Structure 1
Amino acid sequence: MTTHAPAPPDTSRAAVAAVDLVKVYGSGDTAVRALDGVSVGFGRAAFTAIMGPSGSGKSTLMHCLAGLDTATSGTVLLGGTILSGRSDRTLTRVRRERVGFVFQSFNLLPQLTAAQNITLPLDLAGRQPDRELFAHLVGVLGLGDRLGHRPSELSGGQQQRVAMARALVSRPEVVFADEPTGNLDSRSGAEVLGILRNSVRDLGQTVVMVTHDPVAAAYADRVVLLADGRIAGEIDDPDQGSVTDALRDLAAGA
């Protein structure tokens, strides 16, 4: 385990990267600089956690990387594609075809079955699911006897597993996970994090996760630390103790 200052991002090798990213909300005296010149890359087939104190800009960074929000200035690259300055229509297509999402609130459509929720992004894109991958994910996630159930008939952990299958079934370039264990008990949370970890190992998936939980961050290969809208450091091979210490130092202004 090592903690160090971040190196400049190698955008040619990153699955997704930000270069000199600035995001300002509001204007004049009420303007808030949520991101202040952030440059960071996220490697392919790796699990990276983004952490920092409340208001550090971690969710804003994820939203800009995923094309859910637009930066005030700077550049976001998904693979070799520059997302900055693209139209809403183009960003919608990128999110649908190249990115997967796992949210704290699951974001399942209540009128659809688990199977229909899983394939929804592919259906919207006019693509057929890879049946072998679909079957693999259903098996790994333990959803075989739940595919005909609607979200209201599933536990929170089961709903999140459906959301994870939905995120992974399209083989996205990056899966963005925003506090994916926030609404789960510790056992279900550990299952979800283990599945994300295994998707990197077994499927070569790239995962970028925002979390406030040092236990969750310890599942990652790397932790990127933010404070006051800036990159404050990185932790390689994190464990719960190293993450807790780093967050304590950030909170103390060290």
Structure 2
Amino acid sequence: MSTPAAEHAPGLTSADGVAARARGLTKAYGSGETTVLALDSVDVDITRGRFTAVMGPSGSGKSTLMHCLAGLDNVSAGQVWLGDTEITGLRERELTRLRRDRIGFMFQSFNLIPTLSALENITLPMDIAGQKPDQKWLDQVIDTLGLRDRLRHRPSQLSGGQQQRVACARALASRPELIFADEPTGNLDSRAGLEVLGFLREAVDDLGQTVVMVTHDPGAAAHSDLVLFLGDGRIVDRMERPTAEAVLERMKRFDVIRRQVDEAAAAQGD
């Protein structure tokens, strides 16, 4: 099992390049008086070869940020790049191809096809695209995730943790430039969750991948190299080499500040 990032020095720095970035990223839902600003002029760089966690209270914009960076949602204003490719303004067909070829996804629900074996689920996106996997890389991913003896099993024959490992292998199989993980341990018990977080950590340290994870769990965030804290659609703080205790204290501080702001706004309304 890999140790949390707080227990070792990250091997890569921003000098190694930026996997994704956004400038002035704004996302609004609705119009007129009912407009909700989910993201408010966000500037962010996702450093290549690192594990970045995104945290914030419900409604802070963390999932919206991930969806916009991944090209899953259109932006209202601003620009987003994957590597050197600006994805804002791309047509849906181009976005679909970009997501398929250059981005890996993990979600709280495993999204495995029940009639396919673990191996078939892992290679499914490439099979659909008519691509052959790099067998050496695929073997490395399978062995890193400890799935060698589970490849012929169907999802119903696997534990929740094993199913999420298959989903992780599927995200890694095409060697994407960037992996987005949205609450990847949300449906797992604590032991299986720690295993999956350890494998994501290994994907960065041993396989050179770039991971962005949305989470509400300070313990999960402690496996990352950097935590970005969102509040009301903006990045309000960041923490390098996080520990679970430090992240929890930071979140508590934000809760206190938010309550004070809400109370002041309510007093003005009176």
Counterpart for residue 171 of structure 1 = 175
- Indicate the residue corresponding to 1:135 in structure 2: 139
Q: Residue by residue, what CA displacement relative to the aligned partner does 1:217-253 show, whole Å, maximum 9, x if unpaired?
A: 0000000010000010100010011101111111112
Name the amino acid aligned to 1:252. V
CA distance in 2 between partners of 1:199 and 1:28 (Å): 44
1:145 and 2:160 are equivalent in the alignment: no
Is the partner of 1:70 in helix, strand or coil?
A: coil
Counterpart for residue 53 of structure 1: 57
Q: Which residue of 123, 130, 134 maps to 1:119?
A: 123
* Paired position in structure 1 for 2:227: 223
- Find the aligned partners of 2:140 and 2:99 in 1 and give their Cα distance: 23
Tell me the distance in 2 between the aligned counterparts of 1:26 and 1:206.
Answer: 33
Aligned counterpart, 1:7: none
Distance in 1 (alpha carbons) for counterparts of 2:31 and 2:111: 32
Q: What does 1:55-204 align with in structure 2 at a 5 Å threshold?
A: 55-204=59-208
Off by >4 Å, runs of 4+ in structure 1: none
Question: Aligned-pair RMSD on alpha carbons?
Answer: 1.7
Distance in 2, Cα, partners of 1:13 & 1:42: 9
Q: How far does residue 145 in structure 1 lie from its aligned partner after superposition?
A: 2.0
Higher helix proportion: 2
Partner of 1:24: 28
Contact 1:12 1:79 in 2 (8 A): no
Q: Verify the 8 A CA contact 1:99 1:173 in the aligned structure 2.
A: yes
Percent identity for Structure 1 against Structure 2: 59
Work out the CA distance in 2 between the residues paired with 1:106 and 1:17: 27
Aligned-pair distance for 1:13?
Answer: 3.0
State the alpha-carbon separation in 1 of the partners of residues 250 and 87 from structure 2: 31
Structure 1 regions of 5+ residues with no counterpart?
Answer: 3-9
Structure whose alpha-carbon radius of gyration is higher:
2
C-alpha separation between the residues in 1 aligned to 2:110 and 2:147? 15
Shift of 1:121: 1.3
Q: What's the TM-score once normalised by structure 2's chain length?
A: 0.88
Contact kept in structure 2, 1:12 and 1:80, CA below 8 Å:
no
2:136 is matched by which residue type in structure 1?
E
Q: Judging changes above 3 Å, is the alpha-carbon distance between structure 1 residues 11 and 61 closer, same or farther for their aligned structure 2 residues? A: farther
